[in-house]
Amino acid sequence: MHKWIPATALAALFVATAGCNSDSDNDDQPDNTPPPVTEAPPAEPATPASLALSLVGRYSSGVFDQSAAEIPAFDPVNSQIFIVNAQKGAVDVLDARDLANPALIRTLTVEDIAAGAVVNSVAYHDGMIAVAVEADTKTDNGFVALYDTTSFTLLDQVAVGAQPDMLTFTPDGKFVLVANEGEPSDDYSIDPEGSVSIVPVQNRALGSVITADFTAFNDQRQALTAAGVRIYGPGATVAQDIEPEYITVSPDSTTAWVALQENNALAQLDIVAGQITGVTPLGTKDHGDAANGIDASDEDGGIDIRSRPGVVGSYHPDSIAGYSVGGATYIVTANEGDARAWGEDNPLYWAGDASQGFVEEFRVKHLVHVDGFARRAGDDLPPQLNALAAGALLNPQVFGYCEAVDGDPGACRDDGELGRLNISWVDGYRRDTNGEPVMFDASGTENPAGDRIMYDSLSSYGARSFSIWDANGDLVWDSADHFERYLASADCKVGSQRDIPCNAYFNSGHDEGDALDSRSDAKGPEPEGITIGVLGEKTFAFIGLERMGSIMVYDISNPQAPSFVDYFNTREEWISDPSANLSAAGDLGPEGLVFVPSDQSPSGEPLLIVGNEVSGTTAIYQINSLANPAE
């Protein structure tokens, strides 16, 4: 069981879910008018046996691979979609009254808030949108701006932490919560503290900001790292190293959970007290388990999904959402994975100057070569790794299945085995009780005077899955290797007509043409965005697969036993470079998703709105209820 590492002796128990409220006012009828006709309350939506997505409409920015459509929000009063357009650094406003033909009606820029500022996220509540605004220099403090959704008037703005990323209203609308990611500068000379800003909202204005930071954890670094929280930025305190990514809020608006993606952890926030009360590590996924196979190579001749002992995946969730069942709360995570790679475009860093950046990603074949690291110097060898040791070994007791022996990785470093897999060199090597590396000589013999480190496990990025966690941060359920297994199966079809075999384009990239298997050495299909929708008495999770593209749908009404429901991918043309024929490509690189219930939908049918960062499209899907799964 995971245990909270509290900031104080008492850490409040977290309950979380995602949601939004819609308020309405009823004016009194004049005395001289007849009484209004009493209408029956709207019928509760029927509970579907299953569901299927279909494409209703799409707005295209016409901009390829520039993040021209990222995070959506929906205004049910004016039937408007707000979509973050990172290419403009602004919010595009789409008229969605005609769902088949959403149209751009204006763009909200933030230059009047700060010169060079850009928008990172948007959220809707009760006739207002809150916008996360990143400063021109990302390590400077950013802003939250509040706009009226009818007049588009800027209602208020306040300063928050560095690099405000995702933001959300609490369900009661009394606060905006902002995840201030606080990424370092490329050379790590400036590393802001990560934090969560709690911004009061009252009378359509913003109040004094409360900053919930992680400074209380600075003296708990050893306990955090021993528990599995990834704290490893060069020269960084715990507060500097933590990078909040995404937030989900409890239905009573008092508590929240915050995804700390690069740290592979979740934080607990007491909104009322304005404090982070605990951090819990998420651990790793064992790809040696028969149910957790992966395709680990882009050069293995095709599809090769199997278990690989010694390989683990850090969950590294991006989007998270919450829901409740039987009074218990569950957190749902899209396990994308994310490596820290700062200074990777700086030749001085690769020439050996460790002060110019920090890159943790490395291929297995280069990590465990018998000749050591020197052969990669000046190419892709991180200086920090070079300072740690002269080379690395694989533990033959773990990796003997691919012929590793003392001092030699054998076939493990072959391209068709583990050689192409991207892993973090920061994790998995043997350490002593003080956290220092245990040294070996080149023959694989433990030797304090040796210059090699020994990897007992290899840590890949993400878990190629989505997971459900309980309120204590313990894993309840994981989709295991179902994403890749399904994409490789004959049952899977892509295209809006569901008529193209998935397995012909298994683990393709979102910016490539015919690219079978090209993402297998990285994060596979790469789940990133997630949202939850309730239809009748069932709860469904919608997960965006960034690389292969598309939306996975699961019935998560029973958190211990979710069931797969649908897969929908609107990419129509898989052969040529999509930039050459963007109109035929469909939707590439789903980033953000928002569920629209039927009572807020212009059509009266539930919708899923998806921002696709590579194709620059905002797609509107109808969620069709099926009486039985065979329909």
Could you report the per-residue pLDDT of 81-133, keeping only the tens digit for each? 999 999 999 999 999 999 999 999 999 999 999 999 999 999 999 999 999 99
Tokens 């996975």 correspond to: 552
Contacts of 30 (CB under 8 A, 6+ apart): none
Render 96-127 in DSSP notation, one character per residue: -SSTTS-EEEEEE--TTTSTT-EEEEEEEETT
The owner of tokens 């990133």 is 528
Please list the residue range(s) of the chain that carry CATH number 2.130.10.10.
Answer: 5-20+41-282+317-338+462-626
Q: What are the backbone dihedrals phi and psi of residue 283, each rounded to the nearest 5 degrees, phi first?
A: 75, -165
Measure the CA–CA gap between 15 and 32, rounded to whole angstroms.
Answer: 49
Closest among 14, 473, 5 to 255, alpha carbons compared:
14
Name the CATH superfamily, with its identifier, for domain 5-20+41-282+317-338+462-626.
Answer: YVTN repeat-like/Quinoprotein amine dehydrogenase (2.130.10.10)
Dihedral angle computed from the Cα positions of residues 117, 118, 120 and 124, in that order, rounded to the nearest 10 degrees: 90
- pLDDT computed for residue 629 by the predictor: 56
Phi, psi of 587, deg, nearest 5 = -115, 125
Name the nearest CA neighbour of 130 among 119, 141, 139. 119
Query: Which parts of the chain register pLDDT below 70?
Result: 1-3, 8-44, 628-631
Q: What does the buried/exposed string (b/e) look like for 542-568 if buried means 16 or more CB atoms within 10 Å of the residue's CB? A: bbbbbbbbbbbbbbbbebeebeebbbb
The 3 state secondary structure assigned to 215-278 is HHHHHHHHHHHHHCCCCCCCCCCHHHHCCEEEEEECCCCCEEEEEECCCCEEEEEECCCCEEEE
Which residue is listed with tokens 């070996």?
440
Q: Token pair 């009760």 is at which residue? A: 126
Hey, how many other C-beta atoms are within 10 angstroms of the C-beta on 155?
17
What was the pLDDT predicted at 472?
A: 86
Phi/psi region, residue 480 (left: phi>0; alpha: psi -120 to 50; beta: rest), is left
522-538 burial: b if 16+ Cβ within 10 Å, else e? bbbbbbbbbbbbbbeeb
Query: How far is 138 from 114, CA to CA, in rounded Å?
Result: 12
User: Taking Cα atoms as reference points, which of 87, 164, 161 lies closest to residue 131?
Assistant: 164
* 3-class DSSP state of 19: coil
What integer pLDDT is reported at residue 2 of this predicted model? 63
pTM of the predicted structure, to 2 decimals: 0.93
